[in-house]
Amino acid sequence: MQYYRPMLPALLFATLLAIAPSARALPPPTSGDPSVISGRTLGNGQILLAAGVGWPGFWAKGLFSPTRAIDIGVRGDVLYGSPLLGFGTGIGGEVSVPMRIHLWASGDMDFSVAPRPFFAMGDGSLVGERNLFAGSFGYALGLDLQGLLGIQVSDTVTLTVGAGSDLAYANVPDNSASGDIIAGFYGVAGVEAIFSGTTLLFARMQGGYGFSPGRLFDSNANLRLSFGVAYQL
């Protein structure tokens, strides 16, 4: 698997170029109401701060909208579970660059593509090691890519449905057999409720299945749960 080390960053870069058309040609969101998990982008010049807790950790992020149809930000996670597959526990962290690119709007519905390059590191158990190297240092570099449909069902409530896939290179340097490609596919569901115009509460779940070498992970489940709050400046 050493062949994939120089190839994965190039793959991430090529994917981002392919899904980022000219901002001037993209449709605006259907409303200016804040959203953190749906396909509705923030709107030109808006900033949103959010934090959540669940599985596999707790996190905080900031999003900025340089145009009416594109959001980009930074997110930091404190991990106590694997961010890739299964239910292995350990201590680690992750930094990522969440984005939303608004592609379609109709009525109260918005659809965006949401790429998120990420880098995670910590205990080897977080990248799938289960035995001798579970406590050794490990890391993962990858890309998460989602399609998100937001449906604003009332003035204050937005529902989210979608699907996604992630691809990562994971390695534990102490293990000479390590250096693996891990992939996952999943569905997304969530709800947001706005309070006082700029503050919202949200709940989000994703569930699916992944693929990895048989020696890794205690399960091929791709499960994420998150509950949190967001505030638009």
Domain residue extents for the chain? 4-232
Tell which residue, 29, 211, 44, 206, has the closest CA to residue 128.
Answer: 211
- Give the model's pLDDT for residue 18: 52
The answer to whether the beta carbons of residues 145 and 184 sit under 8 Å apart is no
> What Cα–Cα distance (Å) separates residue 53 from each residue in 10, 36, 107, 125, 205?
32, 14, 32, 20, 12
pTM score of the predicted model? 0.87
Most distant pair of Cα atoms in the chain: their distance: 55
The answer to whether the beta carbons of residues 140 and 168 sit under 8 Å apart is yes
> What Cα–Cα distance (Å) separates residue 104 from each residue in 44, 65, 101, 110, 172?
16, 17, 10, 6, 41
Q: How far apart are CA 230 and CA 46, in angstroms?
A: 13
H helix intervals, the chain: 4-18
Q: How far apart are CA 33 and CA 102, in angstroms?
A: 15
The answer to whether the beta carbons of residues 170 and 159 sit under 8 Å apart is no
pLDDT tens-digit profile, the chain (233 residues): 444 444 555 555 554 455 445 555 778 888 889 999 999 999 888 999 999 999 999 999 999 999 889 999 999 999 999 999 999 999 999 999 999 999 999 999 999 999 999 999 999 999 999 989 999 999 999 999 999 999 999 999 999 999 999 999 999 999 998 899 999 999 999 999 998 888 999 999 999 999 999 899 999 999 999 999 999 99
Phi (first) and psi of residue 124, to 5 degrees: -60, -25
Q: Which two tokens stand for residue 147?
A: 């399609």
> What Cα–Cα distance (Å) separates residue 1 from each residue in 11, 28, 44, 60, 137?
15, 42, 43, 33, 18
Q: Which two tokens stand for residue 42?
A: 């923030």
DSSP 121: E
The answer to whether the beta carbons of residues 187 and 160 sit under 8 Å apart is no
CATH 3.30.1450 fits 4-232, yes or no: no
Tell which residue, 180, 136, 160, 172, has the closest CA to residue 8.
Answer: 180
> What Cα–Cα distance (Å) separates residue 145 from each residue in 15, 45, 89, 166, 185?
9, 24, 24, 6, 10
- Give the model's pLDDT for residue 32: 85
Q: How far apart are CA 217 and CA 223, in angstroms?
A: 13
- Give the model's pLDDT for residue 164: 97
Tell which residue, 213, 135, 222, has the closest CA to residue 181.
Answer: 213
